[in-house]
């Protein structure tokens, strides 16, 4: 398995063309649909107890995640996993820490139905939209029907607008910004250690499932989504279980578990500085 991992890392480094790319500015495809999605995103009426909206867990101030080990869903129930960021999803191919989904719309449906998250009943949601004059009007103007697929489609369109542009690192990649020497050093280490083999592309992750740690003792580990590292400084605590509290610990843990390396505090700190330069701002064309 380790041989396979090294072969994978070697080949990714060999064939990757500019393995980290800036987040491009995207023109919103369908503003009307995204606008409805945005309203739904903040609306607790989609949940069973009418108290929890998407924004209860996916918060702006925490990079589209929250700052707790787990999320709190309907009726005070705790989520099974740590809340991941929902930014830059359009550059990712897999969704869900473990419950693999390759289709973002199906993931949204899953999340909404999850009894620890929203326990949504789509018949009730459709009735609610019909009963809300404002939403009903908007919906019927944009979509012909109010139904489950269209509710999900609106949320999907809104999520596709949540991209974080203009990070310090992207400005550096695009040639109009500078990085500090620590940040540059951190980026070099990130490449040299091989972090970039898994965390790459525009979102630095979100493309594959991997074992939790190729150098951990336990063998038959489940596969876990390699998450995006964009805005990661804001979304502590870390990992699918939310058990690691600081970014520095997360970096040291990764180096050991995935690459079999003990890295010094100083080098871990440099990688943290690099990761902090990945924080961007939402390209909000909706307000
Ligand atoms: C109670 C907290 C909570 C609420 C409310 C919530 N989510 Fe999430 N969300 C989570 C958790 C926990 C996960 C990880 C679940 C998993 O991996 O299967 C997640 C995962 C996701 C993902 C997959 C992200 C990825 O990187 O793989 C998407 C997309 C998403 N949520 C969208 C939404 C939308 C849209 C809503 C509202 C309709 C919503 N969430 C409401 C907690 C929440
Ligand atoms: C073999 C693929 C692989 C390699 C190599 C790798 N990672 Fe990861 N990374 C993962 C996976 C899988 C997870 C999710 C683990 C979990 O949730 O338990 C993860 C999670 C993380 C997280 C937590 C993100 C969050 O939002 O919770 C950070 C930070 C991170 N990696 C940084 C690094 C750094 C720094 C390196 C290099 C020292 C590295 N990774 C190398 C696959 C990899």
Q: What is the mean pLDDT of residues 9-26?
A: 73
Measured at the CA of 234, the angle between CA 79 and CA 18, to 5 degrees, comes to 110
Residue 69 token pair: 């080990």
Residue 197 has pLDDT above 60, yes or no: yes
Give tens-digit pLDDT for 89-105: 999 999 999 977 789 99
- Kindly tell me if the per-residue pLDDT of 17 is higher than 60: no
Tokens (6 digits) for 13: 């480094």
Band of residue 282 on the pLDDT scale cut at 50, 70, 90 = very high
Task: Report the candidate in 123, 117, 129, 111 with the shortest Cα–Cα distance to residue 49.
Answer: 117
Q: What's the 210 CA to ligand 2 centre distance in angstroms?
A: 9
pLDDT at residue 77 is higher than 70 = yes
Which residues neighbour 176 within 8 Å (Cβ) at sequence distance 6 or greater?
none
Q: Ligand 2 mean position to 260 CA, how many Å?
A: 13
Which CATH architecture fits 31-159?
Orthogonal Bundle (1.10)
| Greater model confidence, 76 or 28 | 76
User: Which two structure tokens, joined as six digits, stand for 66?
Assistant: 């929250």
Q: What pLDDT was estimated at residue 279?
A: 98
Residue ranges of the chain that CATH labels 1.10.760.10: 2-24+164-282, 31-159
- CATH code for the domain defined by 2-24+164-282: 1.10.760.10
Taking the C-alpha atoms of residue 190 and residue 170, their distance in angstroms, rounded to an integer, is 16
pLDDT for 61-71, tens place per residue?
A: 999 999 999 99
The secondary element (H helix, E strand) that includes residue 258 is helix 247-259
d(CA 98, CA 242): 14
Residue nearest to atom 10 of ligand 2 (CA): 226
Lowest-pLDDT range, 87-96, 98-107, 146-155, 240-249?
98-107
Does 268 sit in the ligand 2 pocket, CB within 6 Å? no
Are the CB atoms for 117 and 111 separated by under 8 Å?
A: yes
CA distance 60 to 265: 30
Name which of 9-13, 106-110, 173-177, 251-255 the model is least confident about. 9-13
Q: Would you place residue 37 in the very low, low, confident or very high pLDDT band (cuts 50, 70, 90)?
A: very high
DSSP 3-16: HHHHHHHHHHHHH-
The protein residue whose alpha carbon is closest to atom 16 in ligand 1 is 96
Cα of 227 from ligand 2 centre, angstroms? 7
**Angle between helix 148-159 and helix 104-113 axes, rounded to 10 deg:** 110
State residue 72 phi and psi, 5-degree precision. -110, 115
By CB atoms closer than 10 A (0-12, 13-18, 19+), residue 178 is exposed
Name every protein residue with a CB atom under 6 angstroms from any ligand 1 atom. 46, 52, 54, 56-58, 71-73, 79, 81, 83-84, 86, 89, 95-97, 99, 107-108, 111-112, 117-118, 155, 225
What are the CA-CA distances from residue 70 to residues 62, 116, 247, 286 (Å)? 13, 11, 17, 29
């Amino acid at each position: 398995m380790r041989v396979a991992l090294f072969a994978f890392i070697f080949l990714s480094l060999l064939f990757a063309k500019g393995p980290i790319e800036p987040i491009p500015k995207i023109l919103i495809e369908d503003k009307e649909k995204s606008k409805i999605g945005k309203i739904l995103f903040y609306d607790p009426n989609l949940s069973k107890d009418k108290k929890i909206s998407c924004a209860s867990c996916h918060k702006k101030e925490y990079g589209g995640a929250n700052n707790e080990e787990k999320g709190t869903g309907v009726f005070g129930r705790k989520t099974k996993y740590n809340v991941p960021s929902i930014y830059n999803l359009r550059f990712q191919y897999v969704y869900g820490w473990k419950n693999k989904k390759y289709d973002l719309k199906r993931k949204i449906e899953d999340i909404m139905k999850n009894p620890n998250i929203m326990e949504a009943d789509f018949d009730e949601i459709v009735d609610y939209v019909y009963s809300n004059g404002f939403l009903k009007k908007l919906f019927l103007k944009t979509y012909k029907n109010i139904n489950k697929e269209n509710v999900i489609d609106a949320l999907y369109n809104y999520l596709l607008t949540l991209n974080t542009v203009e990070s310090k690192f992207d400005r550096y990649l695009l040639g109009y910004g500078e990085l500090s020497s620590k940040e540059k050093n951190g980026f070099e280490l990130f490449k040299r250690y091989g972090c970039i083999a898994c965390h790459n592309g525009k979102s630095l992750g979100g493309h594959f499932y991997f074992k939790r740690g190729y150098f951990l003792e336990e063998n038959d580990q489940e596969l876990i989504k390699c998450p995006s590292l964009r805005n990661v400084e804001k979304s502590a605590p870390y990992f699918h279980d939310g058990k690691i509290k600081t970014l520095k610990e997360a970096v040291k843990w990764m180096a050991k578990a995935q690459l079999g390396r003990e890295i010094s505090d100083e080098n871990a700190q440099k990688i943290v500085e690099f990761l902090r330069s990945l924080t961007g701002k939402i390209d909000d064309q909706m307000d």
